[in-house]
Structure 1
Amino acid sequence: MSGLLVNGLTAGYGRRHILRDLSLPPLPSGSLVALVGANGVGKSTLLRALAGLQPASGHIELDGLDISRHGAAQRAGMIAYLPQTLPQGSSLLAYETVLAANRAVPSGLAPAELQRAIAELFAVLDLQSLAMRRLDELSGGQRQMVGLAQVLVRRPRLLLLDEPTSALDLRWQLKVLQTVRQITREQGAVALLAIHDINLALRFCDHLVMLGEEGLLAAGCPQQVLDSELLRRAYGIEGRVERCSQGFSLVLADRALPIPQRENPA
């Protein structure tokens, strides 16, 4: 199968399992997948486990290749991971930073082809004006966009993005999701992004994976799996899923529900 398969994945820290025996439905090539859920349910842990940066057990298959026993270095040729932390400010130019990332994990592009790919990517992301500026001159949001360019230029088969819009204003949030969706479809890759803005997830993503304290709560087409009951279970809120004037689903959160009190043992 072309795409991503995850079966029986268990990952955590030491003896503390954050994810236990997690299996996902097949995620086909060309898919943009929203990874959603409350804080602490394992979204970042899942991304790191898939990247080989987090100890994990289970079966992971990418484009028919079993990568379960491959370490991060072996997976790096097929997988690109963008963490929540922003690229650090430095004297490097934004262009040099993207070029250096490709040298660290080569994409296989010839030098002239690589330069052309970087130029095209900066154009698609509207970053031409930043290309010759030093990282320590850029805002947090601008550095986040440069970080995205670092992973996109490698043309990975699996793209793992941890809160890629967290430091961005609304225009740039839309730009990132539009670009990632376009590139994912054009290159036939799979992109998983952890995201807190569920309305952006509904607007742009093909699949939704909802995690909760008990593991996987739902997975599938966002418009089909998301409802008021799932919002209550996942976030502890009273909310509704409605449609806007253009036909897109929209979550309206009405109120936070009281946290259930656990009974003390006698």
Structure 2
Amino acid sequence: MLEIKELSFSYNKYKKNIFENLSVNFARGFNVILGPNGAGKSTLLKAIFGLLRYQGNIYYEGINLSKINFNKKIELISYLPQMDLNISPLTVLEMVLLGRLPELNQKISDEDIKAVTEILKALNIEDLITRTFSELSGGQKKMVFIAQTLVRNPKLILLDEPTNSLDLQKQLELCQFLQNFINSKKVDIVVILHDINLAVRYADHIVILSNDGKLYNSGEAKKVITEKMLREVYGVSGDIILDDENKPIISVKKSIRNFL
């Protein structure tokens, strides 16, 4: 599906590389990237979307994303970064319509309006459609940006910490929605999450980056989420048990870092 081959990148040529010949394969469906702060998770999504000049190659379905132009790339990929706009005079309808820019003609079509209303309904925020974006709560704004990212029906979707600002119910609903979206639209998703329990419950495939930007492990949750990984990657001790659905549950105890 998505292949990263010998990726190297630094934000400053005089500084140590964020990535040094990183190679990793993602799977079909719901992929989650885990790792501590500074591991390069957001940088990796930016590289995949083509926002960075890197060395190496990135392939999706055999297409070398490093070689195609940006307009072609945004037809194939949608990307939701961490940084969100907080103030806009536009309504929710208008904000989500912006997500269809590659398809929008000079006149908005019935198909465009239908696509927006369907994605808002699917995300349970259709009641916001006439609201002004600026008056929404942080969580509501996040859901609008997610709708904007998905409304175009791309083949590959990149989401950087989409559950931030969402309450517990909305976090679960979003992950359930993404699972259904993958199955119904036949798309692939790569998501950065900080909540390991959320990741193991919904991910088909997990990629774990260590704090030096190297691949620590990848695979299904039961294979890669271990007490050893918690210590070596996150620097914490904890217990892992399996629930009645045979899913790992992580109970973190404490940091293993020594304090003076």
TM-score when scaled to structure 1? 0.90
Provide Cα deviations, 1:91-146, integer angstroms capped at 9, x if missing partner.
Answer: 1000111112212x3389x9222222211111110111101000111011100000
Indicate the residue corresponding to 2:103 in structure 1: 106
> Is 1:237 paired with 2:239?
no
Indicate the residue corresponding to 2:21 in structure 1: 21
Segment drifting more, 201-210 vs 65-74? 65-74
Indicate the residue corresponding to 2:146 in structure 1: 148
Indicate the residue corresponding to 2:83 in structure 1: 85
- Aligned-partner residue type, residue 232 of structure 1: R
TM-score when scaled to structure 2? 0.92
Separation in structure 1 between the aligned mates of residue 20 and residue 69 of structure 2, nearest angstrom: 20
Q: 1:107 to 1:220 in 2, by over 3 A?
A: farther
Q: Which runs of 5+ in 2 are unaligned?
A: none
Alignment of 1:33-44 (within 5 A): 33-44=31-42
Separation in structure 1 between the aligned mates of residue 93 and residue 241 of structure 2, nearest angstrom: 43
How far has the Cα of 1:73 moved from its partner? 3.5
Contact preservation (8 Å) 1:87, 1:147: no
Alignment of 1:169-208 (within 5 A): 169-208=167-206
Indicate the residue corresponding to 1:247 in structure 2: 246
- Aligned-partner residue type, residue 27 of structure 1: A
Contact preservation (8 Å) 1:107, 1:155: no
User: What is the identity percentage for the equivalent residue pairs of Structure 1 and Structure 2?
Assistant: 33
Indicate the residue corresponding to 2:7 in structure 1: 9
Contact preservation (8 Å) 2:35, 2:211: no
Contact preservation (8 Å) 1:144, 1:164: yes
Provide Cα deviations, 1:147-171, integer angstroms capped at 9, x if missing partner.
Answer: 0000100111111100000110001
How far has the Cα of 1:70 moved from its partner? 3.1
Contact preservation (8 Å) 1:79, 1:159: yes
Give the structure with the higher percent strand.
1
Q: Report how many residues are paired.
A: 255
Separation in structure 1 between the aligned mates of residue 45 and residue 220 of structure 2, nearest angstrom: 20
Indicate the residue corresponding to 2:126 in structure 1: 128
